[in-house]
Amino acid sequence: MGGFIAALRKYAKFSGRSRRREFWGFAVTFGFIHVLLSTLFVVGMQGSREGYVPPFAIVVGFVWLLAGLALYLPLLSVSWRRYQDIGWPGPLSLLGLPLPLLTLIVGAVPGNAGDNAYGPDPKAVV
């Protein structure tokens, strides 16, 4: 949860580097929120029929949409900084949209020890 909060504090910061802890803390919490809200939406739709959507499903769907929109930019920025932590250019994180396995691999690779072109080692800064 600490990584999630740390990433939210850097909401749209694309400069610098992010540790694996920050990346995975945000990614796992984001995934949990997504699965929880999508499950609630599916459960809420159980009472639907043609031309009628239950109010609960409408509310959950709206919250799901807002959460996705609000959390997409920090997800992109923490991925961007994670790529920079291993020494790759941040814009390569956009390849994670069609190739999410690439970002999962980058999330598992240890960052460069010491300073690199994108900033000081986040482990040393702590």
pLDDT digits (tens, 9 = 90+) for 98-113: 999 999 999 999 999 9
Distance of CA 60 to the CA centre of its chain: 20
pLDDT, tens digit, 9 for 90 and up, residues 51-65: 888 999 999 999 999
Query: Does the pLDDT value for residue 22 go beyond 90?
Result: yes
pLDDT at 38: 95
For residue 50, pLDDT over 90 is answered with no
Rounded Cα–Cα distance for residues 40 and 3 (Å): 25
Domain spans of the chain? 25-111
- What 8-state DSSP symbol labels residue 111? P
Q: Are 103 and 80 in contact (CB under 8 A)?
A: no
pTM, full prediction: 0.88
Residue 82, classed as helix, strand or coil, is helix
